[in-house]
Structure 1
Amino acid sequence: MSEATLTAKGQTTIPKEIRERLGLEAGDKLTFTTLSDGTVVMRAKTRRLLDLAGSLTRPGQPSVSVEEMKPFRS
């Protein structure tokens, strides 16, 4: 369990171990959701296109260019 302190301005520092585990970097956007039981869920909203690179490929699968993905128009 990690702990943080809230400042008078409403600011806090996310503990280093949490930032590293979530891959958070300066400037990343975060969303906070309050559940009905009072639990607060924080999610990293910023995802870079490069973070997604290769996420849909399988070994041996041929690559497809963006142009090949565009639908044909007449």
Structure 2
Amino acid sequence: MANDPNPVDIEQREGRVHRFKNHAVRRNVAAEFGRFALEGEDGVPPWGRAGPQSFGSDEGTSADRWVRRYRPTSRS
């Protein structure tokens, strides 16, 4: 008997790491657009201001809303 995991289980596990609005994505968005997001006094929550600014319009493929430019993060 092989102890290899099921390919579906691997795909699901990896999918959890790369989810939309995951911690790494939110951190990069906050680093780039955090000041802009906190400047608003219009009652819009910070993520509501930074999200559309960072991910662009809803036009195009869904990948446009998932993909962020790579920014190295520290491991401290």
Which TM-score tier does this pair reach, normalised by the shorter chain? Answer: under 0.3
Higher strand share: 1
Higher helix share: 2
The TM-score normalised by the length of structure 2 is 0.26
The TM-score normalised by the length of structure 1 is 0.27
Higher-RCO chain (CA-CA 8 Å, sequence separation at least 6): 2
